[in-house]
Amino acid sequence: MKRSKTMPHISIKMLEGRTEEQKKRAAEAVKNALADSLNMGDRYITVAIEDYNAEEWQDVFKTEITDKFDKVYVKPSYDPKSLL
């Protein structure tokens, strides 16, 4: 099978509190998993991580999850207000 040269960009948004080392490991793991599942080279994949506090997360949840629910492939099983 020919490998795709598409350039996926993964944006991870999460609550603050992880170390830079944890973020680097997570980004690398996500990059590798996507490369494997799409059968493509990992050099074409970029990963960004943005941290938010619990109050900011309420807006992120609405704009990125609630308002785009049809595009969310892994649905949340929690109420974001529980994080406050």
Q: What CATH number did the domain enclosing 50 receive?
A: 3.30.429.10
43 within domain boundaries: yes
Q: How many domains does the chain have?
A: 1
Residue 28, CA distances (Å) to 19, 45, 57, 70 in order: 14, 10, 24, 27
Running along the chain, 84 residues long, what does each successive block of 10 average in pLDDT? 75 98 99 96 96 99 98 98 98
pLDDT of 5 reads 65
Domain that holds residue 32: 9-83
3 within domain boundaries: no
| pTM (2 d.p.) | 0.86
pLDDT of 6 reads 78
CA dihedral 35, 24, 77, 80 (to 10 degrees): -140
C-alpha 84/C-alpha 72 separation (Å) is 23
4 within domain boundaries: no
1 within domain boundaries: no
